[in-house]
Amino acid sequence: MTSPTSGYDIEGIKKRALIWTIVGFICGGVIAGVLGLLGYLKADQEPETAQKFTKWAMIVTIIVVVLYVLIFIGSLALGVFSASMSTY
């Protein structure tokens, strides 16, 4: 009988999960950080599940960062347009 971790690079999975946990908590919020943390904790017993958690942490972080950028650009545009439309 083969172990469920055969064929997986456990250290690589843990490294990616740890990176996305840190990036998730800093840039993506609590949900992304928790998903990355779950990926890190599951890497030894269930590497396939750990990869899925890590992938979702990455996706959530990217979505949140893109939304931050869009909100920032939108607020700048709104400020520029409102400043140019005001008359004294």
Alpha carbons 58 and 20: distance in angstroms, whole number: 6
**pLDDT at residue number 87:** 61
Alpha carbons 20 and 59: distance in angstroms, whole number: 10
Pick the residue with more confidence: 77 or 53? 53
Pick the residue with more confidence: 82 or 12? 12
**pLDDT at residue number 2:** 46
Instruction: Tell me the per-residue pLDDT of 30-62, one tens digit each, with 9 for 90 and over.
Output: 999 999 999 999 999 999 999 999 999 999 999
Alpha carbons 59 and 55: distance in angstroms, whole number: 6
